Amino acid sequence: MGASVPKESPIGSPRDNHQALCAMTLQRALAEAPFYRSWKDKDPGSARPLDERFAALPVLTRRDVRAHVPDGFMWAAQRESRGLATGEAEIVTTSGTSGERLSVVWHQPWWDGSEREAARLHATLQEIWSAPHREAVLTTPVCGATACHVGDASMAERTLGTLLFLNQSDDPTAWDDGTAVRMAEELALFQPDVLEADPAYLGILARLCARSGHALHQPRCIVLTYELPSRVHLRWIAKAFPGVPVVSSYGSTETGHVFTQCEHGTFHQNAATCRVDLQRLRPDRGGGGLARLLVTTLGNPWFSLVRFDIGDIVRLRADVPCPCGRNDGMTVDGIEGRWNDLTFDCDGRIVTTRMLDDALGSIASLTGYQLVQTARRSLVVRCSAEADEQAETARALSACLTGLYGAGMEVKVRLEQAISPEQSGKFRLARSTLAALPEELLL
């Protein structure tokens, strides 16, 4: 990819059936899903290259989905069936901020298939998924599973077969040593092969256990998902799980598993169940090497999304093969964070959440933060720090932000006991009151 990626960049999967599946999905969506009827006249037709056909279509927004769920995105057979009534599929609501939350049609077999295919993109995960295995989940208790909720429940009540849900609190910054010990003991009893976790939740647990001297069960693999991993939390996770492979998995409730990090740290597209198109960001606004993601779901007749703006930005990878040898789809160097969380330096250049976290992650005493850009040259940062290093942390944080955003940026630092998650259960590291419009930032 790199400089060779055009304005709208198609995937280049060598998997024999990938392009055929993309073509079939597009054809059926345009022919059968009611929402896409208005898109038909924008399609240059099956005689044109497939990538050209996709690039000619509009972008599917959250507003579109919200207005036309459920029937708008189902194929004809599904609309005519009684699947929603019998439970073959169901309506679920995604997590996220109130402005981004959606009701979607959930088809469990398709999701399971997406997860299985994604596991093939990391050697350890592939080995684990080749046989029966146990998995523990540590994330917000509003994750949607029937055994995942706020309030006291026994370990048995939070276990679904080979799956254990650990958390019962909506704010992990309120966990005490007793909560940490309970989770550590349950992990020791359950002995999961995989620990799937929100990185913030797992980082907080790791820190609590380190302070109280309780060791944590060492799974065969840790999968980080739900939100962008911060270096603050990764530092604690690495200390608590030395030698355990840590894999970052990227996707969404709407689109399934989109990218999985391989053992060399490269993010590989799950070409079996999604197509990815890219829209490059303007280099003159600091977007060189960055692109917005558009995702098309493959093989899910219950919820067919075409060129869906998933709301995230990736960092493109140079046009060199990954050492792991996988070449089934697109590769990117990393996930940069949400479009809606972009902030801007004094010159109006883009600062992604990843750029911000890379700058602040070097402050070892920092335990949590949230930056809000209130104006073009004004930032407010709420932060928490180790008890005996608060003043030093505030000074270091202010210096890092001045270096990142420019000397003309006004920076206000507010020390707090802890930085709690958003209502969605996720920790939002950055946000801005300045609207970042696509026409301003995209090529």
Of 196, 220, 244, the one marking the end of a domain is: 244
pLDDT at 316: 97
- The answer to whether the CB of 167 falls within 8 A of the CB of 201 is yes
pTM over 0.75: yes
Same domain flag for 128 and 231: yes
Same domain flag for 429 and 370: yes
Same domain flag for 323 and 367: no
Spatial strand order in the sheet of 378-385: 410-415, 378-385, 366-375, 430-432
pLDDT at 15: 53
CA distances from 305 to 35, 83, 302, 352, 428 (A): 10, 19, 10, 26, 26
Same domain flag for 337 and 350: no
DSSP code of residue 233: H
Of 341, 374, 401, the one marking the end of a domain is: 341
Mode of pairing for the β-strands spanning 366-375 and 267-269: unpaired
Confidence of residue 124 (pLDDT cuts 50, 70, 90): very high
Confidence of residue 319 (pLDDT cuts 50, 70, 90): confident
Same domain flag for 234 and 180: yes
φ/ψ of 392, rounded to 5, equals -65, -40
Same domain flag for 180 and 262: no
Across 335-346, average pLDDT: 97
- The answer to whether the CB of 10 falls within 8 A of the CB of 277 is yes
- The answer to whether the CB of 149 falls within 8 A of the CB of 168 is yes
Q: Is the pLDDT of residue 9 over 50?
A: no
Across 422-443, average pLDDT: 92
Same domain flag for 49 and 76: yes
**Greater pLDDT, 405 or 101:** 405
Confidence of residue 17 (pLDDT cuts 50, 70, 90): confident
Residue among 423, 428, 429, 269 nearest 358 (CA): 429
pLDDT at 156: 95
Mode of pairing for the β-strands spanning 194-197 and 135-138: parallel
Same domain flag for 306 and 360: no
Same domain flag for 349 and 321: no
Summarize pLDDT for 259-269 with one digit per residue, the tens: 999 999 999 99
pLDDT at 424: 85
Q: Is the pLDDT of residue 13 over 70?
A: no
What is the DSSP secondary-structure string of 199-229?
Answer: HHHHHHHHHHHHHHT------SEEEE-SSPP
Same domain flag for 139 and 99: no
- CATH code (residue 58): 3.40.50.12780
pLDDT at 148: 63
Percent of the chain with pLDDT over 70: 94
Q: Is the pLDDT of residue 14 over 60?
A: no
- The answer to whether the CB of 94 falls within 8 A of the CB of 303 is no
Identify any residues that bridge with 90 across adjacent strands, giving them in sequence order: 106
Axis-axis angle for helices 353-360, 390-405 (nearest 10): 140
Across 118-139, average pLDDT: 97
- Distance between CA 66 and CA 101 in Å, rounded? 9
Summarize pLDDT for 342-384 with one digit per residue, the tens: 999 999 999 999 999 999 999 999 999 999 999 999 999 999 9
Confidence of residue 5 (pLDDT cuts 50, 70, 90): very low
Q: Tokens 């189902």 — which residue?
A: 74
Look at the chain and report how many structural domains it folds into: 3
Across 24-42, average pLDDT: 97
- Supply the mean pLDDT for the chain: 92
Residue among 131, 173, 102 nearest 421 (CA): 173
Same domain flag for 437 and 292: no
Of 244, 263, 293, the one marking the end of a domain is: 244
Same domain flag for 375 and 412: yes
Instruction: Report the run of H or E that residue 428 belongs to, with start and end.
Output: none
- Distance between CA 216 and CA 407 in Å, rounded? 43
Summarize pLDDT for 203-248 with one digit per residue, the tens: 999 999 999 999 999 999 999 999 999 999 999 999 999 999 999 9
Summarize pLDDT for 41-69 with one digit per residue, the tens: 999 999 999 999 999 999 999 999 999 99
pLDDT at 191: 98
Q: Is the pLDDT of residue 314 over 60?
A: yes
Percent of the chain with pLDDT over 90: 86
- CATH code (residue 407): 3.30.300.30
- Distance between CA 92 and CA 96 in Å, rounded? 13
- Distance between CA 197 and CA 250 in Å, rounded? 12
Q: Which domain holds residue 86?
A: 2-114+249-341
- Distance between CA 277 and CA 294 in Å, rounded? 5
- CATH code (residue 214): 3.40.50
- Distance between CA 185 and CA 181 in Å, rounded? 6
